[in-house]
Amino acid sequence: EISEMSEKSKQNVAHGLAWSYYVGYLKIVLPRVKKSMEEFSRANPNMLVCRETWKLHILVPLSCDVYDDLEKADSNIQYLTDLTETTLTRAGTKKRVYKHSLYAIRDEDKLWHCTVEYATPLQSLYAMSQDEGAAFSREERLEQAKLFYRTLEEILKGSKECAGTYRLIAYEESGEAETHFLSREILWHLRQQRHEEYDLRKGNQLHNPSTTLSSTELNIQISESDLPQPLRSDRF
């Protein structure tokens, strides 16, 4: 009876997607990210100058609007190259390839370099909202996206092998068309990480920065009983 109620309310969808994404992908690739970036840095010493940004930056748009080409999403984001591939045999597929792309993010007259990609399960949530069989409304899709983010965040926090290898960038786009919204979101995180590294070198006590969402404060909450969880209070 409980299982039937959960299915009707679609409570298991985002939870399952988050665990599948972690077990089937992130748990495999994240422990290898820093090694790939170290190899790239040795060959290109002037590009990845801030070690604190040597992570996989995972975009989590709550609209589930995922672009296949980041350069088309924002002209301030430029593809540079792919990092070293990881090849494994998985689920009957020989030599399955896992790789990450390195991008340059333009910040006025300066370039920041980082690996960045979307959380691909959001494409499934979006597709379900467009499929009559899944019967997902836009509001339900938003709640599922929030639940996906919070579930994934908790999973990764408890993962020792993934510690220090990722940065979740959850955001809700404003209703207005903004040409460089995405690059600004990524840049905010890159700056935060650079400040964190600087503070560590100086021996200053760090304060946990708010996690980003949008340029306006957004509360992520799954039910009315949850307390609001502001993910960022800064403004550009």
CATH number at residue 47: 3.40.50.12100
Task: Select the more confidently predicted residue: 21 or 6.
Answer: 21
Domains in the chain, number:
1
Residue 222 lies in a domain: no
pLDDT of residue 173: 79
Residue 61 lies in a domain: yes
Burial code (b: 16+ CB inside 10 Å, e: under 16) for 184-195 equals bbbbbbbebbbe
Residue 100 lies in a domain: yes
Residue 38 lies in a domain: yes
The runs of H, that is alpha helices, within the chain are 2-9, 11-21, 27-43, 70-73, 121-130, 138-157, 181-202
pTM here is: 0.80
**Distance in angstroms (rounded) separating the CA atoms of residues 65 and 118:** 10
Domain residue limits at 66:
12-175+183-194
Residue 203 lies in a domain: no
Tell me what the pLDDT averaged over the chain comes to. 80
Q: Which helix (H) or strand (E) holds 80?
A: strand 77-82
13-22, 145-154, 225-234: the lowest-pLDDT one: 225-234
Closest-CA residue to 34 (of 97, 81, 88, 100): 100
Residue 232 lies in a domain: no
∠ Cα 19 123 79 (to 5°):
105
Q: How many CB atoms lie within 10 A of CB 208?
A: 6
Tokens coding 112: 């920041």
Residue 211 lies in a domain: no
Residue 116 lies in a domain: yes
Q: Of all residues in the chain, what percent carry a pLDDT higher than 70?
A: 75
